Structure 1
Amino acid sequence: MRLLQPNLSNTEKENIKTFAEWLLQIGDGNIGDPDDSDPQNTSWVKIPDEYCITDNKNGLSNLISFIYNDELLRNLCVLQLQQKAIVCPKNETVDIINKTIIQKINKEERTYTCCDSAIPYNNDGGQTELLYPAEYLNSQNFPSLPPHVLTLKVGVPIILLRNLNIAGDVCNGTWMITTQLLTRHIEAEIITGTKVGQKVHLPRINLIHKDNVLPYIFKRVQHPVNTP
């Protein structure tokens, strides 16, 4: 969001203030019509047209250009990237936006694919492997795991999904900038916290996902990062 830009006009500042107050009103439950099926906990909120993305092929592109202008994408700057973000309610929307932004960046690219497997709870390994082949497992995406196909470019921001070295601030939620995309590991530079500027190396690790709904334990061997 453009909250920290010093060159905003008075009109832009007032619009941002109005938008922030509107969000707070929603958070406090002061805006919205109660839902008949659950009036105590659920309300319907009408989003003003000026806060909506245009419903056409240029809507998403205009949003990305508003936050990450072409000059920034041509000359990636850590300080500016630290101050910008696009917040999405759904992971699939995040994936679409990330893919679109990465395509706009003219930098060295590398794609990493993972190795997925289903670990049975009991001694039925053969049956589990038959029922859940690799192609099916590769198509699965969970919020706590990186995607099966991880495409990165040098200079793009990434976010760490696991605690690798808590004492060194290499932990879940750490923002970094990719500096080298190597075959077996990723080199990145920390851009948040107390270790800003420190270089770290991120290997592929075993990532486990357990869910009572799944009849197996999901295992993915991949670099533990994603684009934020």
Structure 2
Amino acid sequence: MDEGNMESQLDLYGPELLNSINCTGLPPYKFILKVDVLVMLLRNIDQSSGLYNGTRLQVRKLENYVIECEVLTGNNVGHIALISRMNMVPTNETVPVRFQRRQFSIIVSFAMTINKSQ
């Protein structure tokens, strides 16, 4: 590809379009966290410390480049974990371009209880 053609291709996929893409295994481009909210890990970070995909955590402190969380599930319940930003590349093949985001690998965790009456 020559340089002029590459620039026109990049103009087709602007930041607004790339930020609007939601793929599985990738958190939304922008979401709001608060202290005490429950979150879930999307990537294996440190399996020996119990930080693997699906681990539930509770946010204790929010900083610009790191989130301090308390582990709620697994063998390390009660331990403090520091979650930093990491490069995440979507593996969805329906996305026409390959890109990466540098963000926290967590999403807000929701729980649902079902009471069955008879």
The answer to whether the superposition gives a TM-score over 0.5 is yes
Q: State the distance in 2 between where 1:191 and 1:162 align.
A: 16
Q: CA deviation at 1:125?
A: 4.7
Matching residue of 2:77: 196
Matching residue of 1:207: 88
Summarize deviations over 1:31-56 as a string: whole Å, max 9, x none. Answer: xxxxxxxxxxxxxxxxxxxxxxxxxx
Matching residue of 2:10: 129
Q: CA deviation at 1:140?
A: 1.2
When the two structures are superposed, what TM-score results if normalisation uses the length of structure 1?
Answer: 0.44
Q: 2:65 aligns with which of 184, 191, 196?
A: 184
Matching residue of 2:49: 168
Q: 1:217 aligns with which of 95, 98, 104?
A: 98
Q: Judge conservation of contact 1:188–1:201 (CA < 8 Å) in 2.
A: yes
Per the alignment, do residues 221 and 210 of structure 1 end up closer, same or farther by CA in structure 2, a change over 3 Å counting?
Answer: same
Q: CA deviation at 1:183?
A: 1.2
Per the alignment, do residues 144 and 215 of structure 1 end up closer, same or farther by CA in structure 2, a change over 3 Å counting?
Answer: same
Q: State the distance in 2 between where 1:201 and 1:128 align.
A: 38
Matching residue of 2:23: 142
Answer 1 or 2: higher relative contact order, Cα 8 Å, separation at least 6.
2
Structure 2 unaligned runs (5+)? Answer: 110-118
Per the alignment, do residues 127 and 168 of structure 1 end up closer, same or farther by CA in structure 2, a change over 3 Å counting?
Answer: farther
When the two structures are superposed, what TM-score results if normalisation uses the length of structure 2?
Answer: 0.82
Summarize deviations over 1:103-152 as a string: whole Å, max 9, x none. Answer: xxxxxxxxxxxxxxxxxxxx975344211000111111112111111211
Per the alignment, do residues 136 and 165 of structure 1 end up closer, same or farther by CA in structure 2, a change over 3 Å counting?
Answer: same
- Higher helix share goes to which structure? 1
Q: State the distance in 2 between where 1:127 and 1:172 align.
A: 38
Matching residue of 2:113: none
Structure 1 unaligned runs (5+)? Answer: 1-122
Q: Judge conservation of contact 1:157–1:227 (CA < 8 Å) in 2.
A: yes
Q: State the distance in 2 between where 1:211 and 1:226 align.
A: 18
- Over aligned residues, Cα RMSD in angstroms? 1.6
Q: Judge conservation of contact 1:210–1:218 (CA < 8 Å) in 2.
A: no
Summarize deviations over 1:88-109 as a string: whole Å, max 9, x none. Answer: xxxxxxxxxxxxxxxxxxxxxx
Q: Judge conservation of contact 2:23–2:92 (CA < 8 Å) in 1.
A: no
Q: State the distance in 1 between where 2:39 and 2:46 align.
A: 17
Which structure's CA Rg is the greater one? 1
- Percent sequence identity over aligned pairs: 33
Correspondence 1:47-62 to 2 at 5 A: none
